[in-house]
Chain A
Amino acid sequence: MRRAIVALLTLALVGVVGTVGVATFLNRSDAAPAVTVQRAHKGAAAPSFKGRITFLVVGSDSGAPKFGRGGAAERGRADSLHLVVLDTGKRQGIVIGFPRDSYVPIPGHGTNKINAAMSFGGPALLVRSFEQLTGIRIDYFALTSFDGLTDLVNKVGGVRVNVDMRIRDRVAGAFMNKGPQRLSGARALAYARARKTLPGGDIDRSRHQGQILIGGLATFQAQTAKDPARVMKWLAIMNDEVKTDLPIREQLNLALFARTVAPSQLHNVVVPNTTGTAGRASIVRLLPGAYSLFARVRAGQFA
């Protein structure tokens, strides 16, 4: 009997792709008067993680033929750098932006601008440089390019960002008014690149890049709340546009977990720094406050 039911149910489920397979086996004519068998119940769960997960999110200046930037993204200079630390238990985290000209020790390469680490030794050396600098263990990297960011944002239908200042930056192609808005790929890239006309220069730029990351999370949550199948669409797009060492199983688990982290619980900061010179090069020096920030993050304090 049970086998027969299973066989019938399988037939009903398999159907033909693109059609709806429905089977009704219930013989309503013999049914006794209806009684309440099941009360209404609701339940939900997402994957849980233990402890902390840390990513290095990198934007490369290479690997973007649409912008006339050839070569491989992972051999270019890392011009956008964010450490994303997530406390999975508390469902909160911090996005720490690093100016690309941060002058720091690079293992095996003396002291140099941090964006050079990737061109010296790929994402692996960049990760090691960050771990040595911050004392924070990095679990995974995620790397994209100008092409990757614009295509990703366009494919998901734009990203919602609260633009925090009026911008008129011809070099970056950024012309925006202050306020919440949906940015297309090109406008998101322009917002991420604008620097010269901003009062805080590199600090403003790095904060804006962090806003795009957090805005991406909010957009992902809004879309997947309306249609849960969008999770698979986002993952397919991410796999096309972002290089990462995060295995697909973890990507899926993390995407499902990310639906439960409020964007407001991610603090967006830029590492305390000041501008300076090294020889004739213009650089950024990290201030003592940067090392205090790393110590607080290591201790799990993100606010």
Chain B
Amino acid sequence: MKAGAQGPERGFNPRIAAQRATPGIAQFLSRYLTVAFLDPGQQRAGWRDLLVLFDTPVQQAARRDLDSLSLGAVAAEVKTVRPGPARAAVTFLYQGGRPVGATVKLAFDGSADVEQGTGPVRLRSVFQLLWTAQGWRIASYQSQTGASP
């Protein structure tokens, strides 16, 4: 994971700020990838655990875009997913001494077993995150899954 931070011009150390905020965002992204790709059973639950990671104004859009944010409809055919490389580049925004926003470029590759054999699963996303009372939430996204464009 690569991290940097933006903050006030004076009295702000971007390196320390990034270091401080990294564990929280790593935990959030780990949670995201787990519910979006590693647990195909999430589909039966209506992707509830995934959708709560989105801020309220974009939850409806995220429900529409599940195929580009997660295993989506193919989850019904997937027996297991084995995670491969995950990379994240994060830029935090600090205000008042704490992180309030972040841009995350996330890449994930894995392998899914289905009835017919095994095939790759892939995610390339840019998330804009907002710190809320519930923790980090995705306020905006551009995301793609599946084969390379």
Genuine A/B complex: yes
User: Interface on A for B, CB 8 Å cutoff?
Assistant: 2, 5-6, 8-10, 12-15, 17-27, 31-49, 228-229, 231-233, 235-236, 239-240, 248-249, 252-253, 256
- Is there an interface contact between A9 and B82, defined as CB atoms closer than 8 Å? no
The size bracket of the interface on B is 35 or more
- Is there an interface contact between B91 and A229, defined as CB atoms closer than 8 Å? yes
B29 smallest CB distance to A (angstroms): 5
- Is there an interface contact between B93 and A235, defined as CB atoms closer than 8 Å? yes
A13-B30, A37-B74, A45-B58 known; A228-B126 Cβ under 8 A: yes
Say which residue of A31, A37, A46, A232 sits within 8 Å of B93 (CB atoms). A232
13 more contacts with CB within 8 A, not counting A10-B26, A20-B2, A38-B71, are A9-B30, A13-B26, A13-B29, A18-B2, A34-B117, A34-B118, A35-B114, A37-B77, A37-B112, A39-B147, A43-B61, A228-B103, A228-B128
A13-B29, A37-B120, A38-B71 known; A47-B34 Cβ under 8 A: no
Question: B53 interface residue, CB < 8 Å from A?
Answer: no
Which residues of B75-98 have CB atoms within 8 Å of chain A's CB atoms? 77-78, 82-89, 91-95
A13-B30, A228-B142, A256-B128 known; A248-B91 Cβ under 8 A: no
Say which residue of B27, B84, B88 sits within 8 Å of A24 (CB atoms). B84
Question: B46 interface residue, CB < 8 Å from A?
Answer: no
Chain B contact residues: helix, strand, loop or mixed = strand
A99 smallest CB distance to B (angstroms): 33
Chain A residues, CB < 8 A from B87: 20-22
For A32, A44, A232, which residue has the most chain B Cβ atoms within 10 angstroms?
A232
A21 CA to B2 CA in the complex, in Å?
A: 8
- Is there an interface contact between B146 and A23, defined as CB atoms closer than 8 Å? no
Which chain A residue has the least Cβ–Cβ distance from B23? A14
Chain B residues, CB < 8 A from A34: 117-120
A41 CA to B147 CA in the complex, in Å?
A: 9
- Is there an interface contact between A9 and B34, defined as CB atoms closer than 8 Å? yes
- Is there an interface contact between B141 and A253, defined as CB atoms closer than 8 Å? no
A2-B34, A37-B78 known; A19-B62 Cβ under 8 A: no
- Is there an interface contact between B146 and A41, defined as CB atoms closer than 8 Å? yes
- Is there an interface contact between B58 and A252, defined as CB atoms closer than 8 Å? no
- Is there an interface contact between B39 and A40, defined as CB atoms closer than 8 Å? no
Chain A residues, CB < 8 A from B130: 249, 252-253
